[in-house]
Amino acid sequence: MLAQESENTEFKPKIRGAIMMANSHVPHATEGGKKIAIIPTWGFDVDYVFHPHWSVALQGDIKLQSFDIEDNNVALERTNPFAIAGVIHYHLLRHWSFYAGPGYEFESHKNFFLVKAGTEYSFEITENFEIALNLIYENKEEVYDAWTFGIAFNKKLWEKRE
């Protein structure tokens, strides 16, 4: 990952931006009475890497489809919900990280506090560009949850100079 340098070089703080194309699975989601298996999703991510093993990020995503949630006698309408979360990453290996943090989902009918957890594995293309696979779980106030799998295009935006 851009967050870590090889053992022979000194670490430098950096900022990375990413755009993610993804699909979300929302259990119990329906549209027009028919069960929905996959909801197209777009996301973004801005990371500040402050340590070889740690970074903080602002992550957001929008579901590109309206849907209803029907579970345990709860009927909830969701129209293109937008979620944003602040997370902390732990970079286990150079290209593999885990992250978690709180956030909020905004939607015209009802907003929800959420807890997000995920993992990312990146493939370095150049020194400044990566492609990453993401698996994300979001729990929205225990009313409903979502699993998202996506591919992100990561770009180093800034690196501290000596």
User: In whole angstroms, what is the distance from residue 98 CA to residue 87 CA?
Assistant: 10
What is the arithmetic mean of pLDDT over 44-73?
Answer: 94
Give pTM, 2 decimals: 0.90
User: In whole angstroms, what is the distance from residue 126 CA to residue 76 CA?
Assistant: 44
Q: What is the pLDDT of residue 15?
A: 98
| Residue 4 located in a structural domain | no
What CATH number corresponds to the domain at position 76? 2.40.160.20
148: nearest Cα among 28, 82, 63: 63
Total domains present in the chain: 1
Q: What is the pLDDT of residue 74?
A: 74
| Residue 109 located in a structural domain | yes
Strands 29-31 and 34-35: antiparallel
Strands 82-93 and 29-31: unpaired
| Residue 46 located in a structural domain | yes
| Residue 42 located in a structural domain | yes
User: In whole angstroms, what is the distance from residue 161 CA to residue 83 CA?
Assistant: 33
Could you tell me the residue range of the domain that residue 122 belongs to? Answer: 14-159
| Residue 7 located in a structural domain | no
